[in-house]
Amino acid sequence: MATIATLHRMSAAQLADRIRAGARSLAIVDVRDDDHIGGHIKGSLHFASGTLDVMMPTLIRRLEDVETVVFHCALSQQRGPGAALRYLREKKPEGTKPQTVYILDRGFVGWQEVYGEDTQLTENFRKEIWQNY
């Protein structure tokens, strides 16, 4: 059984490369709550951690045919890894495509430091929100 320590990690650079290459079968799941304001990774799905009790079945159905799933929160230390673990534990492996689940290393904070102002990779970025995070 997966634990936070055994979850795969993906760097911001690796994710950016996959997005730029037009990676198919990739889903980015942003589980930030109120801290979602100020920008997000282009094309990411927002499932706030506070709604996961209700929304997990929807998330599982939506991602059933996706090969690579990347979860993140602000720092990818609590909410992101917790959501990834919960997703792995609740999805039914029978009859589904093989899937690799990652945690975005350093979360959105690390992402925005490098790619926040890159409009090909980040949407609705507001630098002033992240300057002192």
- Tokens in use for 109? 């904070």
Among 56, 106, 62, 58, which Cα is nearest to 83's?
56
Which segments within the chain are labelled E, that is strand? Answer: 8-10, 26-30, 40-41, 45-46, 68-72, 100-104, 122-123
Q: Which one of 73, 83, 104, 121 is the catalytic residue?
A: 73
Q: Indicate if 55 belongs to the active site.
A: no
Active site residues: 73
